[in-house]
Homo-oligomer: A and B are copies of this chain.
């Protein structure tokens, strides 16, 4: 019957519906036949394989099973299954500097011949000498100047291309790997596991929204519209008769600390039920999300593995974790001990 239909109408677009339905129906039936054979007491076979069995993994699985069990008291409807993740230090390494700072340094070096004045002007002078302490000494104002010099004065499409091109060649110095590969395998498994349970996964980062968006689909399976970050202003303009969005040298929104719950409310418009962070910059977001009366889950990635990654918390300049570490027990936040809880950290290292 189907073959006859196909022969008769070889070009009709509705044909593809038939094949799609057929493929799905067959897959469904195969699933039906196979499912009851597996023991129902088994954990999901592929969930979180890079996590060691222990309290952390058990707590995550327990939460997901509770909110997805339709007959249970903690059931959460699919549209409310929103999970938010900090990026730097939570989904990928942020040492010795964030990926974005490495990008800024490379851009400044590339543009330096057109800006001879940078040799004498801070924070450019320090950055050109790879003196990160000197850059840090220039404070927020200095960082903003670096961002303006490297991120503004071009269209959004041009900036996107610059970012993509940089990621294609830049390498993380310690591991000598592309930056796309220094993501945490256990966290990517967690993202997959949540999505398999109908969670919508978001990034909520202090990093630049348009710096992250070109890469998050490839790195984490997260589409641009589910990335929230800091931004500079953009402006609608005509280039000749072509409308473009021009990136202006003016900070628009800082998505860090108390800005994170604000950003979530602006972009998502509802309170997530799952949050993962790793530093005090995530504190307010974690407080807000885990203050909900309904089911919620908060977790902190604690950098405890100096051998396979880095060990740092209270005294680190990058990703300082102090207040949130103190309050984790009383707030019921899960502390994930990277060394103990993660069997494997990166794809490229056993």
A residues contacting B by CB (< 8 A) are 1-2, 4-5, 9, 11-18, 21-22, 24-25, 28-29, 31-32, 35-36, 40-41, 65, 68-72, 79, 156, 200, 209-210, 213, 217, 223-225, 227, 231, 234-236, 242-243, 245, 258-259, 261-262, 265-270, 284, 287-288, 291
Within the oligomer, what is the number of copies of this chain?
2
Contacts of A12 in B (CB 8 A): 40-41
B18 touches A269 (CB 8 A): no
Give 17 A-B pairs besides A24-B28, A236-B288 with Cβ atoms closer than 8 angstroms. A4-B36, A11-B71, A13-B65, A13-B69, A14-B35, A14-B40, A17-B35, A156-B265, A213-B269, A227-B269, A234-B262, A235-B262, A236-B261, A243-B284, A243-B287, A243-B288, A245-B265
A262 contact set on B, CB distance < 8 A:
234-236, 245
Residues of B within 8 A of A223 (CB): 79
Give the distance to chain B from A348, nearest Cβ to Cβ, in Å: 27
Majority DSSP secondary structure for residues of A touching B: helix
C-alpha gap A29/B26 in the complex (Å): 9
A225 to B202 CA separation, bound complex (whole angstroms): 11
Q: 9 tightest CB-CB pairs across the interface, nearest first?
A: A224-B269, A25-B28, A236-B258, A13-B69, A243-B288, A5-B36, A12-B40, A243-B287, A213-B269
Tell me how far the C-beta of A247 lies from the nearest C-beta in chain B, rounded to whole angstroms: 10
Q: Contact: A18 with B1, CB < 8 Å?
A: no
- Judge whether A288 and B245 touch: CB under 8 Å: yes
> In the assembled complex, which residues on chain B have CB atoms less than 8 Å from the CB atom of A4?
36
Contact A5 B40 (CB under 8 A): yes
Cβ contact of A270, chosen from B69, B225, B259, B284, cutoff 8 A: B225
**Can you give 11 contacting A-B residue pairs, CB < 8 Å?**
A5-B40, A18-B35, A21-B31, A21-B32, A21-B35, A25-B28, A79-B217, A209-B266, A227-B269, A243-B284, A245-B265
| Nearest CB in chain B to that of A270: its residue | B224
For the complex, give the distance between the alpha carbons of A261 and B235 in Å. 9
B35 contacts A284, C-beta separation under 8 Å: no
Kindly state the separation between the CA atoms of A298 and B16 in the bound complex, as whole angstroms.
27
Give which listed residue, B13, B210, B270, contacts A68 with CB less than 8 A: B13
CB distance from A173 to the nearest CB of B (A): 29
Residues of B within 8 A of A40 (CB): 5, 9, 12, 14-15
